[in-house]
Structure 1
């Protein structure tokens, strides 16, 4: 039995099996590797939920997402960057949805990367909203594929942290900070 004395996501459990706890909480959960991250965003729950629920917004802050085509209210087609310049694709179906609270999904059969997960939105009072993303996935190529993805910074645990950070920046400031120079800076430097 897992000791649950706080409201941290299952992927942060110090005792027990996070993968079993996470996939058990997902309807039709699939995936043996688990990634989970949380961030507090200084915006109301409704605003964050509505922005996220429009899946066409996600490529704006999800670095590895090439495109998301919404097929209907429950189904979308995802194309995502993989290591070495490749891409992977899958159809994702919403399995559970509660307005302003959570969206859960699972990949359809035939996915390049079988996955499932959920994004949860919890009111944090004057601090805004706690957003928690939990993803279960089967890395292509097993453990070797996971290590390669990690080397190329394409591993979901790494991406979840970065994507939530960019989501926070976008929603709080309207832009995402980047170390890259913009065209005007290049011009000013004579480059």
Structure 2
């Protein structure tokens, strides 16, 4: 066993309040008061994971709440995301940092339905692959009540980040996302 142990968990998840100080300052032009962070180790090289994530049109393939992402230019994209009650929220997000194979950071533009910022980090984990860490800061619509409603409808970013990273891991390691849900085609086939 090595002399030092490296924890793969995001610093924002620390139980020691002083350890998480400065997390929001790492979010360039950070927006959002609520912060969540999740990490997963994926048995793929960082370059492959970064390349898939950097093409923002790929994100709806594993992000359950993301309806669509439309690139506007090299730094700006338009996001449409599911919200509680069958509604959607929209915003434009600007890429604030892009270090190939290591980091992507963004912030929403002024006037966003949900002010947010975040970063995705890709860190080499040796033979284990790559540790992917997502840190997201956001202002839920409706404040604390809005956050509670989002949590009840399973649309709260902390819940979604965990699930989305798990789906990303499945997609990158196996080429598909396991689900217990039946597709529309399967349902129609059963009824026939």
Aligned partner of 1:136 in structure 2 is: 137
Q: How does 1:1-191 map to 2 (within 5 A)?
A: 8-16=9-17, 20-182=21-183, 183-184=185-186, 187=189, 189=190
| Separation of aligned partners in 1, 2:106 and 2:147 | 21
The 1-side partners of 2:126 and 2:50 are apart by: 16
1:139-166 CA-partner distances (Å, limit 9, x unpaired): 1100000000000000000000000000
Q: Deviations over 1:42-97 (max 9, x none)?
A: 11110000000000000000000000000111000000000000000000001111
| Whole-angstrom distance in 2 between the partners of 1:55 and 1:15 | 34
Displacement of 1:6: 5.0
**3-state secondary structure, aligned to 1:21:** coil
Displacement of 1:98 in angstroms is 0.6
Counterparts of 1:25 and 1:145 in 2: how far apart (Å)?
26
Q: Distance in 2 between matches of 1:76 and 1:125?
A: 33
Counterparts of 2:146 and 2:18, CA distance in 1: 22
Q: How many residues align?
A: 186
CA distance in 1, matches of 2:38, 2:95: 20
Which ranges of structure 2 fall in alignment gaps of 5 or more residues? 1-5
Write the distance in 2 (CA, Å) between the matches of 1:90 and 1:84: 18
Compute the TM-score of the two structures, normalised by the length of structure 2: 0.91
State the SS of the aligned residue for 2:154. Answer: coil
Gaps of 5+ in 1: none
How far off its partner does 1:102 sit? 0.2
Q: Report the alpha carbon displacement of residue 186 of structure 1 after superposing the two structures with TM.
A: 6.0
Superposition deviation, residue 181 in structure 1: 2.3
Distance 1:133 1:104, change over 3 A: same
Q: Distance in 2 between matches of 1:6 and 1:190?
A: 50
Matched-pair contact (CA < 8 Å) for 2:14–2:20: no
Alpha carbons of structure 1 residues 173 and 10: separation in structure 2 relative to 1, 3 Å: same
Instruction: Give the superposition deviation at 1:190.
Output: 5.1
Native 8 Å contact 2:13 2:20 kept in 1:
no
